[in-house]
Amino acid sequence: MEYSKIKNSKVLVTGGAGFIGSNLCENLLQYQNEVVCLDNFSTGRMENISHLIENKKFKLIKGDIRDLNDCIESMQGVEVVLQQAALGSVPRSINDPITTNEVNVSGFLNVLIAARDSKVKRLVYAASSSTYGDSDILPKMEDVIGKPLSPYAVTKYVNELYAHVFGLNYGLDCIGLRYFNVYGRRQDPNGAYAAVIPKFTMQLMSHQSPIINGSGNNSRDFTYIDNVIQMNHLAAVTNNVAAKGQVFNTAVGERADLNWLIYLLKKYLGEYDNKILNVEIIHGNERKGDIPHSLASIEKAETILGYSPSHNLEKGLKEAVNWYWRNLK
């Protein structure tokens, strides 16, 4: 689908070797952009960007947003920053709140300072649906949030506050994107903090029983990577003054519970291997810090940015499953 895109610009993607960052780097190169990728490879992976290394318009800087000098170096001549670098995962933040805060708050502050001093035209940053916290109002509207339920949620809300303050005091042009349960190609299925879709997909492909936390009635607004790429482009290029300093839900505007998600995964994977249809599902305990339901209103993004999600859950899952089957089986 056609929408306004970043073209012929110099763009920094922090966390550019990660799941979302690498997809952004790859996509940006298709539109004659010069792309700088900053990553410390704590969660990012070289195989995510190895196919980009030979591209003359791609530059990799191995560095850390916790180091202000690395941030300053990576922003030389940069017009747009897409700030994706962060330590994700609610459980990780509960187990290690100090490191989560160092990366997500102190690191983010370094990015803001470097962007201010480098006079970048716009900084688009990854915010999070976890900011809605204990608010049980559905759908989630950008102006109504609750109290955070995890250290991770605290850090992502602090990002929004810092971005607001830098706009207010220094004129830094910042737009935040509250990501809702992003999934898709290159999302890591391994590790203790793997996201639910790649983790379940890999387990089913190996005929292992996925464990659903709780009853499976918890629901999420699962958002395919291509919708996220679209939002980053739109936020980076918009001239609508109503967008300045704002945060926008980045989602589909539909929700599915985990039981339905597993049903779809088994159905789509079953097209490759019908034994997967008979894999048993196990239910475990509820997970700490989890919100029961999440559903975004995307009206603000539609109205101000012209956002129109290209993938609903069924379309996105089908593409994601195809990618995992071809690349990781």
Catalytic residue IDs: 152
Q: Which residue do the tokens 């996201």 mark? A: 195
Q: Which residue do the tokens 């005091």 mark? A: 169
Q: Which candidate, 3, 44, 45, places its Cα nearest to that of 27?
A: 3
2 Cβ contact list (under 8 Å, min separation 6): none
Secondary-structure breakdown of the chain: helix, strand, coil percentages, each rounded to the nearest 5: 45, 15, 40
Cβ pair 185, 323 in contact under 8 A? yes
Sign of torsion over alpha carbons 211, 213, 215, 217: negative
Q: What is the dihedral of CA 280, 189, 301, 10, to 10 degrees?
A: -170
Q: Which two tokens stand for residue 147?
A: 């109290």
301 Cβ contact list (under 8 Å, min separation 6): 231, 234, 248, 249, 250, 307
Cβ pair 151, 223 in contact under 8 A? no
- d(C-alpha 252, C-alpha 45), whole Å: 27
CB hemisphere CA count around 34 (13 angstroms): 10
DSSP secondary structure string for all residues of 57-117: TEEEEE--TTSHHHHHHHTTT-SEEEE------HHHHHH-HHHHHIIIIIIHHHHHHHHHH
